[in-house]
Amino acid sequence: MNRTTLSLIAGTAALAAVTGFAALNPPDAVGADTAKAAAQQPVERTSLLCPAPSTSDIADTSYTSFTPVTKGTGSSGKAELLSATQESADGTGSAKSDGKDAKAGGKSDSKDGKSDGKKAAKPVLTPKEPGTPAVGDTSGGDSPGLLGTAEGKFAPGWTVQETTQVAVGSGRGLLGVSCTPPDTEFWFPGVSTLADRTDYLHMTNPDDSAAVVDIGLYGKDGVLESTVADGITVQPHSSEPILLSTLTGEKQDGLTVHVTVRSGRIGAAVQALDDKLGGDWLAAAADPADSLVMPGIPKDATDVSLVVFTPGDADADLKVRLASPSGLITPAGHETLHVKSRMTTTLDLADVTRGEAGSLVLTPTGQSVPVVAALRVVRGKGSAQETAFIPATSPVGTRATAADNSAKGTTLSLTAPQGTAQVKVTASAGSDGGTAQSKTYTIKSGTTQDVELPVPSGLKGTYALTVEPVSGGPVYAARMLAVTKEDVSGFTVQTLPDDRGTVAVPEADQDLSVLQQ
C-alpha cells in the first residue's frame, strides 16, 4: 500500500470514530437555539505575589490570609505563602530555591548526602480552613518577596494582605498592599523621582524562566529619556527592587510608570517613601478606560492630588466629580481636566472631601479617550502627616475581600456612581476566635458611604471583610486601616475589586462542522 492509501484509510477511520460518537450523543435539531449561558464555577488554583516589605531594620510586617467560604468547592485543598526563592516543605511548591536559605544562606542536602540545589522552607503562614483568617509575621529589613499558592477549597477568592509599620525614618507610618496575581502589564500613576522621594518598583517572578521587562516613565512633557529601562531581566523565583530615580536623570513629581513584560510574567507594585510625608504602597491602577472611579478618600484628608495619564494618540477631556454622602458634586474650580496625549497631568484638589466621605469619579466630557489615574492622599498636619495612594479600580463585581481588619481602625467605603445598589458586607470569624456577622446596606446613586461595619461576636485577632453586591448598579469599594504606634499615626488604603473567586465555564457541544473544509 502506498502512503496516499494509508492516509485515506486513517482519515476514514477518524471520521467514523467521530461520527459514531456523535450518534451516541446527537446534537440538537438544526435551527434549535443551542446557546447556553456559561456557568460560574469556583477557581481551582490561585497564585499571589507579595513584594519585599521594607528595608528598615525596625519594620514590623504582618501577613494575613483569607479564603471566603464558596459553594461548589470540594473538601480538599491547601494554601501556603513562601519565600519566592524557596519551595514548600513537601517539595510540591511552585517556588524553587537558588541553593541558599533566605536567612542563613546555607545549602540544602538531599537524603543521600548530596546537594540537590533545593531548600525546603517553612511557610510564612498556612491557612487551616476557609472562612477563618491565618496570620504570620516578620521583622527587620531583609524579608524577601513571597509567592503564595492556593488550591482546591482554598483557591476561590484567596486574599493575602501585607501590612508594615515603620516608626521612624523615610516612609515612616503604615504601609499596606494586597498581594496580587502575576500579570504582563501594569500602570502606576503618581510616582516621583524628586530628591525627597524614594520610589522603588518591586518586581517578583514566580516562574522557572527569566522574565524580560520594559519600563516606561512619562512626565508632564511626555516620555522621559532613559538608557537602562528596557530589557530588564528578572531572574526565576526572585524579587527585584528598582529605584526609579536611577532610570532617568530628570527629577519630577507626579510621573506615570508603564511596565510591560516581553516574556514571562511578574507581580509588580511601587513602594513610595517620602522623607516628610511618610509612605505607602502604590498598587497598579485599573486598565485604561474612559471612565474611572477612585473610591474611599478619607473624610479627614488634608491634601489630595490627582494624577492622570493618557496612553493613546488623542487628548482626553474629563469631567471631575466627587461622589459625596449626598450625591455627585463638582469640586470648585476643577470642573474639567484636559490631559494631553502621552503626558501626565497632576491636579491639586486640596482638602476636597471637607470632612465627609468621598470618591473621585472621572467621565469623558465628549469623545471617549482611555486614561489611567491614581490619587495621592495626605492626612494629618506638620510632622504628623502621612501618605497613602488610591489607584483607579474596577467594581466589586461578584465579591471582593479585604483581610487584616481589627475591631478599631478599619473604615469601609462603598460607592455607587451609576445607580442605587444594595450591598451585603460580612465580617468573618476572627483569626483566634469569634463568630461571623453580616449587614446589608443601601448605597444611593452617586453617593459614597463610610458604613458602620459588622464586627464578629467574641472577636479575637483579626478578621476579613467580604463585600457582595445584592442588587442595583455597580459598586466600588475601598478599605482604610489606621493605627498609632509610638505616637506616630499611620494609614493605608486598599481598593477592593472582584476577588476572582469564580470563572465562567461555557458548556460545549459536539460540532461536526470542524471536519468540513
Tell me whether strands 211-219 and 222-223 are parallel, antiparallel or unpaired: antiparallel
Q: pLDDT tens for residues 26-78?
A: 444 444 444 456 778 899 999 999 999 998 988 999 999 999 999 988 889 99
User: What is the arithmetic mean of pLDDT over 497-516?
Assistant: 73
pLDDT number for residue 171: 84
Q: Is the pLDDT of residue 114 over 90?
A: no
Residue 101 has pLDDT above 60, yes or no: no
Band of pLDDT at residue 2, cut at 50, 70 and 90: very low
Q: What is the pLDDT of residues 395-423, one digit of tens each?
A: 999 999 999 999 899 999 999 999 999 99
> Residue 340, class by beta-carbon neighbours within 10 Å (0-12 exposed, 13-18 middle, 19+ buried)?
middle
Grid coordinates in use for 305? 492630588
In sequence order, what are the residues at sequence separation of 6 or more whose Cβ sits closer than 8 angstroms to the Cβ of residue 140? 57, 59
Residue 280 main-chain phi, psi, to 5 deg: -170, 175
Check residue 471 and give left, alpha or beta (phi > 0: left; psi -120 to 50: alpha). beta
Instruction: Say whether pLDDT at 91 is over 70.
Output: no
Residues 88 and 148: their CA atoms lie apart, in Å, by: 10
Higher pLDDT, 162 or 22: 162
Q: What is the pLDDT of residue 330?
A: 95
- B/e letters for 147-179, b = 16+ CB within 10 Å, e = fewer, are bbbbbbbbbbbbbbbbbbbbeeebbbbbbbbbb
Q: How far apart, in whole angstroms, are the C-alpha atoms of residue 158 and residue 147?
A: 13
pLDDT score, position 510: 62
Quick: pLDDT tens for 315-361.
999 999 999 999 999 998 899 999 999 999 999 999 999 999 999 99
User: Would you state the pLDDT for residue 45?
Assistant: 95
**Confidence bin at 503 (pLDDT 50/70/90):** confident
Distance CA 9, CA 286 (A): 55
- Give the per-residue pLDDT at 37: 62
How does strand 232-234 pair with strand 344-350? unpaired
Which helix (H) or strand (E) covers residue 14, if one does? helix 3-24
Confidence of residue 16 (pLDDT cuts 50, 70, 90): very low
DSSP state string for 481-517: EEEEETTEEEEEEEE------EEEEPPP---GGGG--
Express each pLDDT in 186-245 by its tens digit: 999 999 999 999 999 999 999 999 999 999 999 999 999 988 888 999 999 999 999 999
Please check the confidence at residue 257 and state whether its pLDDT lies above 70.
Answer: yes
Using alpha carbons, select from 327, 326, 307 the residue that is nearest to residue 318: 307
| Single-letter code of the amino acid located at 477 | A
d(CA 420, CA 251): 44
Q: How confident is the model at residue 36, as a pLDDT?
A: 59
The percentage of residues in the chain with a pLDDT greater than 70, rounded to a whole number, is 83
pLDDT band (50, 70, 90) for residue 490 = very high
Top-confidence residue, 36 or 23: 36
- Beta strands 120-121 and 87-88, pairing class: parallel
Question: How confident is the model over 162-187, as pLDDT tens digits?
Answer: 999 998 888 889 999 999 999 999 99
Euclidean distance between CA atoms 167 and 490, whole angstroms: 9
**Does the predicted TM-score (pTM) go above 0.75?**
yes
Looking at residues 256-272, what average pLDDT do you find? 97
What average pLDDT does the chain have?
86
| Calpha distance 501→158 (Å, rounded) | 7
Q: Are 67 and 127 in contact (CB under 8 A)?
A: yes
Which cell goes with 55? 528595608
- pLDDT of 112: 40
Domain boundaries, the chain: 41-503
pLDDT at 517 over 70: no
Distance between CA 472 and CA 459 in Å, rounded? 32
